[in-house]
Amino acid sequence: MILKTASGDFPIPPEVARCLPSAPDLPGQHADERERRAFRDWLEASSENLIAYERLRRWRLVQEDLAAAAKRAGRIHQVTDDGLE
């Protein structure tokens, strides 16, 4: 698995990947109504889905910040489980 950030693409270690909640990808800008509706239906199907998506969204934001900080410091970003709590 690869984490794509504005600072680059980084491999997700298997031990981190196992901790990530399962959620479908957010429909892209050019997604059709069917794709957007399918995502909304999944999100609204249960509170667990909403929680899983929010955890994954927060993890991605934290990793984005960590990747940017590593780039500014001239280091390679190592993907972690930071942000999943």
Name residue 66's amino acid.
Answer: L
Give the whole-angstrom CA distance, residue 6 versus residue 48.
29
43 contacts 49 by C-beta, under 8 angstroms: yes
- Residue 44 has a pLDDT of 96
Global pTM reads 0.87
8 contacts 70 by C-beta, under 8 angstroms: no
* pLDDT tens-digit series, residues 14-61: 999 999 999 998 898 899 999 999 999 999 999 999 999 999 999 999
User: What is the distance between the terminal CA atoms of the chain, rounded to a whole angstrom?
Assistant: 20
| 6-17 mean pLDDT | 97
Name residue 83's amino acid.
Answer: G
- Residue 85 has a pLDDT of 82
Tokens of 31: 């997604």
**Residue with tokens 């940017």, as numbered in its chain:** 68
